[in-house]
Amino acid sequence: LDYPCHAASLPVAMIPNCAATRHIHFKLKGGNGPAIFERPDLDIWPDIELPMDTIKRVNIEDLTKENLSQFKSGDTLLISGKILTARDAAHKKIVEYKNAGKPLPNGVDLKDRFIYYVGPVDPVRDEAVGPAGPTTSTRMDKFTKDMMEIGIMGMIGKAERKQPTIDLIKEYGSIYLIATGGAAYLISQSIKSAKVLAFEEIGMEAIYEFEVKDMPVTVAVDTQGNSIHTTGPAKWRTI
């Protein structure tokens, strides 16, 4: 710099890493050979029992647009079956195919499918997939009308949707589910198989097909356009 300045004014470069690379920091004090780490005692975490009387188990492949209305904003579901994944880059490619009047790549049929907004981390050892937590759904709002026109049944992500998107969900009789942000590893335990269907060249943003078993989600926007991100805070204010 040409002139002295306060340290807080110095330029700073930051490199965000959205993927969970799962590394650990350690120091070796003399000697050589591998570093050995003790596995944490899982007993230090409390046992948590799900209130199964209020949770609905759902085979997502049995759902139709006609029976989606049974689910209401705030319902907790354990979903099983096959879902597709797509994030920003895949959505952009899908819409480009649609606008060009081109069929999607072989093996990709979005009709009556649920799209999970996720870019999974590569698996290790015997994992079907690495950590696979939801990305913020709001970024996909600009693609939602095109995806609805293609024929998707529902979406899975995290965070609220903008009002025009909520209106589209109601118009098309669709549904929006949310998975727990920050629980990527735990969510991955419900994924029993994963395979790339298209756009392998964009890495973790490729379209995958996941087979899930009891994946926990919450109905965030139901077919009537009721949003938990609106009704939830309103309820809290009365407590």
How far is it, in rounded angstroms, from Cα 42 to Cα 206?
A: 34
Catalytic residue among 23, 25, 91, 229: 91
Helices (H) then strands (E): counts for the chain: 5, 7
Side-chain half-sphere of 168: how many Cα atoms within 13 Å? 21
| Contact yes or no for 210/129 (Cβ under 8 A) | yes
Known active-site residue 91: yes
Q: Whole-angstrom Cα distance, residue 49 to residue 38?
A: 27
- How many C-beta atoms surround the C-beta of residue 124 within 10 A? 8
Residue 155, strand partner residues: 115, 176
Nearest to 225 by CA among 176, 184, 178, 179: 176
Pairing of strands 191-198, 154-157: unpaired
Q: How many CB atoms lie within 10 A of CB 23?
A: 5
**Cα dihedral 181, 203, 96, 164 in deg (nearest 10):** 0
What is the biggest distance separating any 2 CA atoms in the chain, rounded to whole angstroms?
68
Active site residues: 91
